Amino acid sequence: MPPHLANRVGLLWRSFQLRGTPPSGNQAVPTIFFCVRRASVLAWCARGDRVPSACSDTIASAAKNVWELQRTVEKMILEGLGVGEERIGAHLDTLAHSVRLSRYGPPPDAETNMSLQAHRDDSIMTAIVQHGVEGLEVQVQDGIWLAVPPEPDLFTFVAGELFTV
């Protein structure tokens, strides 16, 4: 997937993703957080505005905190499935991570009221922070879609295709 996705046909959605490599040696966090901090131009705005370094630092800090929380959630799930602690650590240390910033415009199709098509995450887990924006829905096993209301300080963790049991 390219690092920057412009508006797709029929969808008002802009997204920017930076990918990193797993931690190695004495490195405590994935390289992604250093990439975010160094990125001076994210091509985020339609005008290609530069992102101030303070903003890059904030994004890097927030991404690091979400990564640590997500890693804790993944560890708890694996422990609940009976996976040994050594195997959990070895597994989590091999994962690459990414940070995606997305901005959704008003839905172009008033009938469906969708800005992004239904999809499956091909990752192990996705952490979503809605920032008060409504519209996130999760499909449960019986095919029904459930709305996830945006609430302050709420993180939604979605198990991806690679984390199915």
The model's pLDDT over 69-104, given as tens digits with 9 standing for 90+, comes to 888 998 998 899 899 888 888 887 777 777 777 766
Whether residue 126 contacts residue 158, with contact meaning beta carbons closer than 8 Å, is answered with yes
* pLDDT tier, 4 (very low <50, low <70, confident <90, very high otherwise): very low
Closest by alpha carbon to 77, among 67, 90, 63, 92? Answer: 92
For the full predicted model, state whether its pTM sits above 0.75. no
What is the pLDDT at residue 114? 64
Q: Is residue 61 classed as helix, strand or coil in its secondary structure? A: helix
- Tell whether the model's pLDDT for residue 41 goes beyond 50: no
What's the average model confidence in pLDDT over 153-161? Answer: 82
d(CA 163, CA 10): 31
The domains of the chain are located at 1-108, 118-165
Indicate if the alpha-carbon torsion angle 64, 65, 70, 76 is positive or negative.
positive
Q: What is the reported pLDDT for 9?
A: 56
Query: How large is the greatest C-alpha to C-alpha distance in the chain, in angstroms?
Result: 53
pLDDT score of 43:
43
- Predicted local distance difference test score (pLDDT) of residue 42: 46
| Range 31-44 average pLDDT | 47
99: which DSSP letter? E
Mean per-residue pLDDT, 121-131: 79
Tell me the one-letter amino acid at 4. Answer: H
